[in-house]
Amino acid sequence: MSSSDTLASLAMEKLPNKPKQILRKFQKRNVFIKLIVFILLIITILITVRSDTSQNVVTTYFSSNGYFIPSKNDLVNVDISKKLKSQKLNKSPLSEKVLNQYYEKYKIKAIVPNIDLEKVGKKYKDNNGKNKLHNDQPSLTYEKLPCSEFEYEGTIEYSKDVIELKDDLIDMRRKILKDGGFMSKLITVNEEKNWSDEEIVEKSWKRFGESPVWLESEQCYISFTRVLYSRIHQKTFPYLSLIKAQAFDKDWNEIIGKKIPFNDVSIPEDVERELESLSEQFQENVCDKIKDSSAHEQCLVKHNKSLLEQQRRKEKILSRYFQTYPKVFEIPFKPERDYGNGAEDPHVILKKTDKGEEPVVIYNLFDHNDKKRKMYALLPQKKVDPIIEFKINGREAKDTEKNWTPFFNNDEGESEFSNGSIHFIYSFKPLEILRCSLTDGLCDVVYEKKFLDLDKEDDFSSVHGGSQFVPLPNVLPKVKDQNIWVGFAKMHLQNSGCNPHYYRPMLMLMIENKGIYHLEMTVPIFDFNFDVPSWDMQGTYCDRNNILAPHSIAYWEVVSQDPETKEYEDYMALTLSESDAVSKVIVLKGILNYVIGMYEDKNVKETFVL
């Protein structure tokens, strides 16, 4: 026993009972306090060591919907490498082919207008604080900055193996004729009476503009396409346009007969029993007991008809509760014009809520009542009132409304009595944002920036909607008070060189901060080194329209992150159409690194000042 322990023991023996008890309690409490101090000391040491080794790391773990970082510039320091290692990819759309195929490097250059003039200006001042670029001006202005300050160059990758999405239009046409609805009369003309089905489809039918999204809950893509029929055999002048949907697996093989339940209809418990009863009713094949060959053959014919009737009745029952793909949607219209009838330019965006996933299809259609082309939404997984017509409050509709770019904000909530809302980029310059109800279609202008001194030459009317705009992948933290979206717009140049119409994708980054929207970054031209087919599809020569148009971001997934460099392994599937005839899927790699890298490379303002 130590001398200090001995003295303490002797002192305890000389004390009365009550003081002894108090002293014992004090000693126990003293030990507890020492233990707490020791633990706090260890934690402090660990934090100090951690900050020394990774002083730039913003956070390591966070919930995709719970934690925020204070600034978008902090995105460059986020470390989610451990979180990504633990994620499971079995339900993602990423196949082995996507992960292992060859990707070609592709340099791109963006325009970044929201530069912090104060930070950039420091390198253009001499030791006396004077402006080195223009000595006659005491302060630096945006107009005097060199163009290089607004340029951001980087590299992404794209898959050399591009998937072409195809469809059996012959089979589709036959089914429309067999159903005998009003559309069957519209696609029957005397000129084609003696033509074969193959000849009719080759000359008069086209499909393009594939717009798919991945449904994790159903483990498939649902893709929406414009199918057009031209009575004069020219895709420039379609008599009729239809919207067709298909289901694909993650390798882009079509799934025939894919059934997805409607989200606004409950499936009764007795439906399964009703279907079983039908099967039992037609199951027994009594024909095998008939010996006479002629009677046996007649019996088989009758039995097969019964089986077809059984299948028809089954499908009728299931159609009350399920949407079955492939599907041609019967969107009402009046075919009063020689061309331009029906639904055109379908684009899809995925709506995610607590109730699940729902594709929303945006399209335009000519209204024969007031002779204007209007915007609509189709909710294919709704049985009741699946079509919504959009109207802007306080504005008279233009003669032609089209190219609205959809995106979802955080305030799109739905309820038992409401389908929620959706946002649109109505125009890119001046930037105008709409918020529209998915219940009654009424729209409000929630952001509008007018350029009073805007010259026609500076107008962005040549920029149209392309794909939907999607947020950064949800494995990343949210930025406090800001929302960030990425999408592909469509550049439309007229009378450019040898082309009256020239279309190419444009990559854009859009930011919203407390109700203020702006375009943070724009890559003017994206062509992936494609040799785009000519308008007549007979070569790649420059003649008439030259079109490479974006349609849909099918997914954007993050697989991993290097904990040292902070670079991500991310994949984005984008669909493109060529010459309004061919639809392709290309996979892009490194879009996330390119977007976040801008904040490391450029001095970007935290907010946008009007």
In a shared domain, residues 245 and 362: yes
pLDDT value of position 134? 62
**pLDDT surpassing 70 at residue 57:** no
Per-residue b or e along 161-187, where b marks 16 or more CB atoms closer than 10 Å to that residue's CB: eebebebebeebbeebeeeeeebeebb
pLDDT value of position 278? 58
Residues 6+ apart with CB under 8 A from 320: 265, 383
Domain residues for the domain of 223 are 171-267+321-455
535 found inside a domain = yes
2 found inside a domain = no
Summarised one tens digit per residue, pLDDT across range 417-445 is 788 999 999 999 889 999 999 999 999 99
210-213-214-218 Cα dihedral, nearest 10 degrees: -90
Q: Which of 33-47, 314-328, 565-579 has the lowest mean pLDDT?
A: 33-47
In a shared domain, residues 144 and 198: no
In a shared domain, residues 445 and 477: no
Residues 6+ apart with CB under 8 A from 267: 261, 321
31 found inside a domain = no
In a shared domain, residues 202 and 288: no
pLDDT value of position 62? 41
pLDDT value of position 287? 78
Q: Which of 45-59, 173-187, 489-503 has the lowest mean pLDDT?
A: 45-59
576 found inside a domain = yes
Of the pLDDT bands very low, low, confident and very high (cuts 50, 70, 90), residue 286 is low
In a shared domain, residues 348 and 435: yes
- Which uninterrupted H or E stretch holds 481? none
Decide: 94 and 569 in contact? Cβ < 8 Å: no
Cis peptide before 146 (omega within 30 of 0): no
pTM score of the predicted model: 0.84
**Hey, is 482 helix, strand or coil?**
strand
Out of 429, 455, 481, pick the residue that ends a domain: 455
Per-residue tokens: 27: 């000693």
Of the pLDDT bands very low, low, confident and very high (cuts 50, 70, 90), residue 137 is low
pLDDT value of position 141? 78
Residue of 571 and 290 predicted with greater confidence: 571
pLDDT value of position 416? 66
334 found inside a domain = yes
Chain centroid to Cα 152, Å, comes to 24
**pLDDT surpassing 60 at residue 322:** yes
* % of the chain exceeding 90 in pLDDT: 58
3 found inside a domain = no
Task: Report the C-alpha gap between 226 and 209 in whole angstroms.
Answer: 6
Residue bearing tokens 């009677």: 295
Per-residue tokens: 601: 């490379």
Of the pLDDT bands very low, low, confident and very high (cuts 50, 70, 90), residue 279 is low
Q: Which of 113-127, 171-185, 376-390, 452-466 has the lowest mean pLDDT?
A: 452-466
**What is the mean predicted confidence (pLDDT) over 358-369?**
95
Of the pLDDT bands very low, low, confident and very high (cuts 50, 70, 90), residue 410 is confident
Task: Report the C-alpha gap between 98 and 491 in whole angstroms.
Answer: 28
In a shared domain, residues 237 and 372: yes
514-517-521-526 Cα dihedral, nearest 10 degrees: 130
Summarised one tens digit per residue, pLDDT across range 484-495 is 999 999 999 888
In a shared domain, residues 148 and 291: no
Of the pLDDT bands very low, low, confident and very high (cuts 50, 70, 90), residue 2 is very low
DSSP string, 43-88: HHHHHHHHHHH-TT---S---TTT-EES-GGGGGG---HHHHHH--
Per-residue tokens: 573: 């599937």
In a shared domain, residues 133 and 186: no
**pLDDT surpassing 70 at residue 39:** no
In a shared domain, residues 339 and 242: yes
Task: Report the C-alpha gap between 367 and 484 in whole angstroms.
Answer: 35
Out of 400, 421, 455, pick the residue that ends a domain: 455
Q: How far is CA 397 from CA 79, 366, 440, 484, in A?
A: 48, 12, 16, 29
Residues 6+ apart with CB under 8 A from 181: 330
Task: Report the C-alpha gap between 418 and 285 in whole angstroms.
Answer: 50
62 found inside a domain = no
Beta strand spans in 149-271 (E): 151-159, 163-165, 205-215, 220-229, 240-248, 258-261
Residue (of 396, 398, 400, 441) closest to 422 by Cα position: 441
- Which uninterrupted H or E stretch holds 301? helix 293-318
Decide: 499 and 542 in contact? Cβ < 8 Å: yes
Count of domains in the chain?
3
Tell me which amino acid residue 507 is: L
pLDDT value of position 555? 98
pLDDT value of position 460? 58
pLDDT value of position 48? 44
In a shared domain, residues 222 and 277: no
Decide: 89 and 136 in contact? Cβ < 8 Å: no
Out of 415, 438, 455, pick the residue that ends a domain: 455
In a shared domain, residues 195 and 254: yes
Residue of 602 and 459 predicted with greater confidence: 602
The number of CA neighbours under 13 Å toward the Cβ of 408 is 20
399 found inside a domain = yes
**What is the mean predicted confidence (pLDDT) over 486-505?**
88
Other C-beta atoms within 10 Å of 369: how many? Answer: 6
Decide: 204 and 186 in contact? Cβ < 8 Å: no
In a shared domain, residues 146 and 284: no
